[in-house]
Amino acid sequence: MIAITLLEKYNGIIKNYKNGDLIFEEGNQPLYYYQIISGEVKMNNYNDEGKEFIQGIFYKNQCFGEPPLFIDQVYPANAVAVTDSELIVITKDKFLELLKNNSDISLAIIKNLSQRLYYKSVMAAEISSQDPEHRVLRLIDYSIEQLNFKKEEAGFLINFTRQQIGDLTGLRVETVIRAIKSLEKKGDLKIINRKVYR
Amino acid sequence: MIAITLLEKYNGIIKNYKNGDLIFEEGNQPLYYYQIISGEVKMNNYNDEGKEFIQGIFYKNQCFGEPPLFIDQVYPANAVAVTDSELIVITKDKFLELLKNNSDISLAIIKNLSQRLYYKSVMAAEISSQDPEHRVLRLIDYSIEQLNFKKEEAGFLINFTRQQIGDLTGLRVETVIRAIKSLEKKGDLKIINRKVYR
DNA sequence: TATTTTATATGATTTAAGTCATAAAATGCA
DNA sequence: TGCATTTTATGACTTAAATCATATAAAATA
């Protein structure tokens, strides 16, 4: 998103997180702008019964957790490193200052937020009113478009576990497994030693 | 959102829609920026079986349908007038020009998108993994916060039909009706001649 | 005002996804 | 290398919400 050199000019600090580390927690006041230098971060919630819902997974060069920064609300979800990750962090004040001085960044932020809102709109409609196979396939197609899944001979390698697909679509693992099997039978995707290709 | 006088400077045109009129359709190329002068607009999708999902309801002074404008994608949902409505519309080019010349508007857009993303995040987690009563109550509480529901002696009047609540939460009317009844029994809300108060 | 349409309401039944149990690969790690 | 954990897999069963049917009240409209 934002050039690291620019972030460093605004007192950017490099922070390292181990796989599983909590970066921020639902309900906390947002204080920083976070951008991924390397690694992978998910934002998630847990419902009353402890079931996880993954809001999104973020990769290299992406930022996350800005919306509450702009609207002075607490975080609606947790951020957790899903691999060892290196982040660059600047304070809210510095971030707003950076924005003010760099109008092109504003447009980049607008585009990024728009993209995420688009994803949420599509998935909201899917999750609320489509059958499991439809939901899984839509998530896969959207992820191929947006994330950098590798294209191999068999097709795009879907780099998600069945559990992650479940947590992103609001389905249980078993349901995802059965949906994927059924989609394979219909020829919509391939399973090659347990990996999913589309 | 944006002052009407300013929109008029950028060739803003007033358009009138009757209750039920389609403003734009899922799958179409976005060409305009839309802002509500008076009336009420919903954005919705229909699933394969024709079940409606309401992405959001928008009121006076709010804009809608900008995200695809920024990211050059087709509309992910329809926009439909739910009351007779007066909108002001400017072309995409003029809108981007307006943004470039008014950096304070950029921040307003960022805040607006952030607010909507926040709503989607909260509702996504709710819809995917909470029971009907929880979903209904969260929608109601969120809507009280965000929309201008009137505070009366009995509490905030929830200005939604049961059907609308169902379409916003992905539940069927009957389920919403039963959830509301049950929430009333628990004292979480009031029903006074069929109207819901919280 | 009468009539149609929309919204709320409730009971009975169905069904799809969740839950539970169990197992075997695959992967991580000590 | 061996052991523990995670991931994928499958069958049996349960259950919560959807579906269906029907009714009545309220609102819209002719």
In angstroms, rounded to a whole number, what is the distance separating the alpha carbons of residues B33 and B85? 15
Per-residue model confidence as pLDDT tens digits over A77-110: 999 998 899 999 999 999 999 999 998 999 999 9
The pLDDT tens digits of the residues spanning B12-21 come to: 999 999 888 9
pLDDT digits (tens, 9 = 90+) for B139-173: 999 999 888 788 998 999 999 999 999 999 999 99
Chain A hits for B134, Cβ within 8 Å: 48
Question: For a pLDDT cut of 70, what percent of chain B falls above it?
Answer: 99
Which residue is closest to B167 within chain A, CA to CA? A128
Q: What is the mean pLDDT of chain A?
A: 93
Q: What is the mean pLDDT of chain B?
A: 93
Q: What b/e string do you get for A138-175 counting C-beta neighbours within 10 Å, with b at 16 or more? A: bbbebbbeeeebeeeeebbbbebebebbbbbbbbeeeb
- Judge: B47–A109 Cβ closer than 8 Å, yes or no: no
Q: Per-residue pLDDT averaged across B52-77, rounded? A: 94
Q: How confident is the model at residue B118 (pLDDT cuts 50, 70, 90)?
A: very high
Interface contact A55-B115, CB threshold 8 A: no
3-class DSSP string for chain B: CCCHHHHHHCCCEEEEECCCCEEECCCCCCCEEEEEEECCEEEEEECCCCCEEEEEEECCCCEECCHHHHHCCCCCCEEEECCCEEEEEEEHHHHHHHHHHCHHHHHHHHHHHHHHHHHHHHHHHHHHHCCHHHHHHHHHHHHHHHCCCCEECCEEECCCCHHHHHHHHCCCHHHHHHHHHHHHHCCCCEEECCEEEC
pLDDT, mean of residues A173-191: 96
For A181 and D12, how far is CA from C1' in angstroms? 19
Strand C bases with any atom < 7 A from protein Cβ = 6-12, 16-21, 26
Q: Say what the pLDDT of residue A58 is.
A: 93
Determine, for residues B67 and A117 on separate chains, whether the beta-carbon distance falls below 8 Å: yes
- Say yes or no: Cβ of A77 under 7 A from any atom of strand C: no
Query: What's the CA–C1' distance between A171 and D12, in Å?
Result: 20
With H, G, I as helix, E, B as strand and everything else as coil, classify residue A13.
strand
pLDDT, tens digit (0-9, with 9 covering 90-100), for A30-51: 999 999 999 999 999 998 888 9
Residues 45-74 of A with CB under 7 A from strand C: 49, 51
Strand C close to B101 by CB, under 7 A: no
Asked if residue A132 keeps its beta carbon closer than 7 A to nucleic acid strand C, the reply is yes
pLDDT band (50, 70, 90) for residue B129:
low
Closest CA in chain A for residue B117:
A117
- Closest residue in B to A166 (Cα) is B128
Q: Which residue of B has its CA nearest to A96?
A: B107
Residue of B42, B111, B121 to mutate when probing chain A, most A C-beta within 10 A: B121
Cβ atoms A105, A98 nearer than 8 A: yes
Structure tokens at A129: 């009113």
Q: Which of B106, B121, B127 sits opposite A106 (nearest CB)?
A: B106
**How much is the average pLDDT of A126-144?**
91
Give the pLDDT score at A178. Answer: 97
Flag whether the pTM goes above 0.85: yes
The protein residues having a beta carbon less than 7 Å from any atom of strand D are A 161-163, 173-174, 177-178, 180-181, 191, 194; B 49, 51, 131-132, 170-172, 174-175, 193-194
Percent of chain A with pLDDT over 70: 99
For B74-104, how does the pLDDT look when each residue is reduced to its tens digit (9 = 90+)?
Answer: 999 999 998 889 999 999 999 999 999 998 9
